[in-house]
C-alpha cells in the first residue's frame, strides 16, 4: 500500500506540475533500495535501478526536451522496485511505460505529456501481475 501511495502521489504531482521533485523520487528510491536489501533482493533491485536509470539518462541526454531529469531520477526507484521482483517484471514495466505514454498521447492528440504517470502505472501493473 505504501508503494501504491508513493506511485500515486508521484503521478498526480507530475500531471499537475509537470515535474517530479527530488523529495519524492530520490527518497522513494533510497527506501525501495533499502527495503529490497533488507529482504535479500538488494542486488536485483540495484541492477534494475542501474539499467533503467542508464537507459533513461541516455534518452534525456540525447533529447532533453523529450524526457526530463525527474524521469531519470524516478527511474532509480521504479527500476529498483521492479528489478527486485525479477527481470520479467522489470522488462514489462520498462517497455510498458513508453507504450502507455505513446498510447495516451495518440488518444489525447498531444505530443508532450508527462512520462512519470506512465512509469508509475507500468510499474504498478507489472508488480500486480507478479504477485497474482
pLDDT at 132 over 90: no
Confidence (pTM): 0.95
Supply φ then ψ for residue 109, to 5 degrees. 65, 35
Q: How many domains is the chain built from?
A: 1
Domain boundaries, position 30 = 2-131
Quote the cell numbers at residue 131.
504477485
Q: What local confidence, expressed as pLDDT, does residue 118 receive?
A: 98
* Residue matched to cell numbers 522489470: 90
The backbone torsions φ and ψ at residue 20, rounded to the nearest 5 degrees and listed phi first, read -120, 110
* Whether 9 contacts 87, CB under 8 Å: no
Nearest to 97 by CA among 132, 69, 64, 67: 67
For the cut 90, the answer to whether the pLDDT of residue 111 exceeds it is no
H helix intervals, 18-115: 22-38, 42-62, 69-83, 87-108
Map residue 65 onto helix, strand or coil.
Answer: coil
Residue 129's CB is within 10 A of a number of other CB atoms, namely 13
Q: 35-84 pLDDT, tens per residue?
A: 999 999 999 999 999 999 999 999 999 999 889 999 999 999 999 999 99
Amino acid at each position: 500500500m505504501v508503494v501504491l501511495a508513493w506511485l500515486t502521489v508521484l503521478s498526480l504531482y507530475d500531471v499537475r506540475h509537470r515535474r517530479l521533485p527530488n523529495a519524492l523520487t530520490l527518497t522513494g528510491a533510497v527506501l525501495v533500495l533499502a527495503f529490497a536489501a533488507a529482504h535479500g533482493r538488494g542486488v536485483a533491485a540495484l541492477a534494475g535501478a542501474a539499467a533503467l536509470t542508464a537507459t533513461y539518462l541516455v534518452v534525456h541526454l540525447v533529447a532533453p526536451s523529450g524526457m526530463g531529469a525527474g524521469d531519470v531520477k524516478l527511474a532509480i526507484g521504479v527500476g529498483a522496485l521492479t528489478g527486485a521482483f525479477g527481470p520479467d517484471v522489470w522488462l514489462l514495466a520498462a517497455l510498458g511505460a513508453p507504450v502507455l505514454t505513446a498510447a495516451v498521447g495518440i488518444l489525447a492528440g498531444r505530443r508532450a505529456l508527462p512520462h512519470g504517470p506512465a512509469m508509475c502505472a507500468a510499474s504498478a501493473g507489472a508488480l500486480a501481475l507478479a504477485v497474482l
